[in-house]
Structure 1
């Protein structure tokens, strides 16, 4: 491929893509479920986060109380001791159940903890932003032009009468 051909291909590609380039998004006609006209951004309140975390915590507690089956292990060992093959199968099922239950309970705990963390983090962010904005207002008030009446000089810049030229 020669340089001329390469330049032609580059310019053709630039013409083709320049009018259609879109970064980080699709045109509105390609995203029918994008939500409202304001952009479809998700909004969540602190109450929503707290409710999700609370439900995950309740589910975790219910799983702890109601989903664990401790008698299965005893039954499996009794059946195995009496020579039944069902004992080994029941033990295998019990082990798998415990692993899966542990995974679900871990997920519930993670969701609950994450919602608590998110709620606290956002509250901290709000306090930080509020402090930052209020400090800007305090700083801005120091640059207010109302330090002296119109036509009056600032007292700071008057010449010192004690100082001689």
Structure 2
């Protein structure tokens, strides 16, 4: 190994070592949420309502338009007349009903879950708002910058003046 090669290896090792010590996170260009300081998970009430509404509408359309009861009767008629196509048609109809039921169940689940989530988040908002406002009120009582030293904090109301007895 030549001296120059050894010096080069030492320099590259030192660079790797120094960069390892400096890393405490991803550089901004490699972070997926670099432009959004709050992260990328945001849900608004209108978004939840729209998803639930679309799922509900899809469920209703599937109920009205996708159920095919005439296929079963046609399959039975053809089978009774000796056509092999009748049995195949009934098999397809049975499979269709099972798959349609699965899709409709999923739509109902999504619709109900979005309604539940919307209501749960609304309740959480009220709960958090109440607690934060009570913390603010409590914090105002401990605020050192509210008045000059020795002055009474206005949050506790005015002190009643006692009559001098004499």
Output the TM-score relative to the length of structure 1. Answer: 0.67
Aligned to 1:76: 75
RMSD: 3.3
Gaps (5+ residues) in structure 2?
A: 1-16, 153-166
Q: Distance in 2 between matches of 1:103 and 1:16?
A: 57
Q: Does 1:102 align with 2:101?
A: yes
Q: CA deviation at 1:37?
A: 1.4
> What are the Cα deviations for residues 72-93 of structure 1, in whole angstroms up to 9, with x where unaligned?
1111111111111011100110
Q: CA deviation at 1:111?
A: 1.4
Aligned to 1:47: 46
Q: CA deviation at 1:28?
A: 4.8
Aligned to 2:36: 38
Q: Distance in 2 between matches of 1:90 and 1:70?
A: 12
Q: Distance in 2 between matches of 1:120 and 1:141?
A: 32
CA contact (8 A) 2:28 2:34 kept: no
- Superposed structure 1 runs of 4+ greater than 3 Å apart: 15-23, 26-31, 141-153
Gaps (5+ residues) in structure 1?
A: 1-14, 154-165
Q: CA deviation at 1:113?
A: 1.3
Q: Distance in 2 between matches of 1:57 and 1:148?
A: 58
